Structure 1
Amino acid sequence: MHFGLGLPIGSPEQLTDWARLADDGPFRTLGLLDRIVYDNPEPLVTLALLAGATTRVRLQTEVLLAPLREPALLAKQAATLDRLSGGRFTLGLGVGGRADDHQATGTDPRQRGRVLDEQMTRMRRIWSGAEGIGPAPATPGGPEVLFGAFADPALERIARHGDGFLCAAPPKWAGDLFAKVERFWADAGRDGRPRMVAQVNVALESDVDEARAAIAAYYAFSDYGRNMVEGMLTTPEQVREAAKHFADLGADELMLYCWGTDPGQVGRLADVVS
């Protein structure tokens, strides 16, 4: 099982330092979340910067809220980032669950699933070269696409349009979600198996209090905010235990989403997973 590193949003100007440290370490992927009405850096712009600061590590949106964006421009941006990074880009997508994000972009949250399906059909067509919108992505057919999901209709979307699953659920729920994704994949007649990428929230040592405050603020809109704070992993033993659980479930990669802003977290987490 590979390990990825989710980047904090609290100090955007430090992210090139995080990226360079991760590029020299054991991590396969760098992930960055997406919001509109929040004090976070825009992920496609930021990952383009990090692509130039790295040579090996993959770059991943985790997850980009696709229904808030126009599909032709999004397809062009994703293809450009994939091309300029030498095929190192993974487009992680979701529908967006915050009403303020949809209000700010003038999109209807009630139509978000239908919109995402239509976007994927259009973007696949663009990446194939059918509409004359370039550049062609480095990855044939377009960058790898993963979907974050919980409900069955969203999990079925992985088989229709995606390459794999971004699972932000704890191990006790993830097994059932993995099984559903694999069943929908088989029912759709897809070859092979979907990539399974899990995610846990982490912070080690001196950053724990800062990280708890950051994650509480981020999930303040949700009734699950307290659970997210309490579920954050704060010791090497907890990280190793979660890694073992997800490896046993068949995860291909575990993203360690760090909420502390100290770049020293990269080395601490690298020591845990090495």
Structure 2
Amino acid sequence: MNIGIGLPIGDPTTLPDWAQRADAGPFSTLGLLDRLVYHNPEPLVALAVLAGATSRIRLQTEVLLAPLRDTALLAKQAATLDRMTGGRLVLGLGIGGRDDDHQVTGVDLRTRGRRLDEQMAMMRRLWSGEPYGDDIGPIGPAPARPTGPIVLFGGFKPAALERVARWGDGFLSAASPSWAGDLFDTVRTFWKKYGRDGEPRIVAQVNVALGPQNVIDDARTNMHAYYTFTGMADRMVAGMLTTPAEIRTTIAAFADLGADEVMLYCYGLDPSQVDRLADVV
């Protein structure tokens, strides 16, 4: 079981410290959330900075809202970061659900799923070195892998789960162990239906805060602000894990479900949480 760290978004200047601590510890991946109409750092830019501050740890968008971005430019950015990090990029993608994010980019909220499918078809072509079109050449550089960076998809609905098998390498799950198992099984069923070899990579996400009460309070405040738009912020904050026992139990539950990795997402800004979580895992 691999364990990753989900980075806080409240202060981008603290992230190199978080990244270096995680790179020196037992962690497999750094994850970063994405929103547009918010004060979070832009994930591809931030992860590029963190790539230079680290040497081995994977760099994962979780999830990048691909429909908000130009397809050709996103393909080029992802390939560049993947190539320059020696294949450390993991491109977690999703469609997003905030109307304001879509308004400021002029993207129709109602067609974002179809747009993501179209984007994936184009990006897979470009990453493999094929030309953009009949009269337009290829868009490089070549990524570290011939087929492009590792792509994971997040979501809950059947269309999102099927997208994993159609275009991706694995699944990002923000569900608790009590109902994540059904999502994992559905993804694996689609994987077989599409005749994919091997198994999809399964990555689970849990929200954590570890430290004194002020760290926990800071995390709860930040997480609540981030998810207020959902109307379920209170319930989501209530599910935050705040003790070593809770974290270990949840990791074990995901291991029993066959997850390959668990991302421990932090909303509190104290980077010492990395060291405390290292002691737990």
**TM-score of the two chains, using structure 1 as the length reference:** 0.99
Distance in structure 2 (CA, Å) of the matches to 1:11 and 1:108: 30
Provide the residue aligned with 1:64 in structure 2. Answer: 64
Q: How many angstroms apart in 1 are the aligned matches of 2:267 and 2:280?
A: 17
1:118-166 superposed Cα distances (whole Å, 9 cap, x missing partner): 0000000000000210110012210000000100011000000000000
1:172 and 1:259 map into 2 onto residues whose CA distance is 23
Query: Which residue of the partner structure matches residue 153 of structure 1?
Result: 159
Q: Does 1:227 align with 2:235?
A: yes
Distance 1:54 1:127 in 2: 25
CA distance in 1, matches of 2:20, 2:57: 9
Q: How many residues align?
A: 273
Cα deviation, residue 29, structure 1? 0.2
Aligned to 1:198: 204
Please state if 1:166 is matched with 2:172. yes
Distance apart, 1:223 and its partner CA: 2.0
Q: Distance in 2 between matches of 1:12 and 1:108?
A: 29
2:74 aligns with 74
Separation in 2, partners of 1:114, 1:10: 32
**SS at 1:135's partner residue?**
coil
Task: Describe the SS at the equivalent of 1:96.
Answer: coil
> 1:11 is matched by which residue type in structure 2?
D
Amino acid at match of 2:256: D
Letter in 2 for 1:13: T
Q: What SS is found at the alignment partner of 1:62? A: strand
% identical equivalent positions? 68
The CA distance in 2 between the partners of 1:69 and 1:129, in whole Å, is 21
Q: Flag structure 1 segments of 5+ consecutive residues without an equivalent.
A: none
Structure 2 letter corresponding to 1:184: F
Unaligned runs of 5+ in 2: 132-137
3-state SS in 1 of match to 2:235:
helix
| Partner Cα distance (2:43, 2:274) in 1 | 19
Partner residue in 1 for 2:97:
97
Match of 1:209?
217
Please tell me the residue identity of whatever aligns with 2:148.
Answer: G
User: In the alignment, which residue of structure 1 is the partner of 2:129?
Assistant: 129
Using structure 2 for the length normalisation, give the TM-score.
0.96
SS in 2 for 1:220: helix
Structure 1 Cα separation of the partners of residues 108 and 177 of structure 2: 32
Structure 1 counterpart of 2:145? 139
Q: Secondary structure at the match of 1:198?
A: strand
Distance 1:140 1:23 in 2: 26
Counterpart in 2 of 1:176?
182
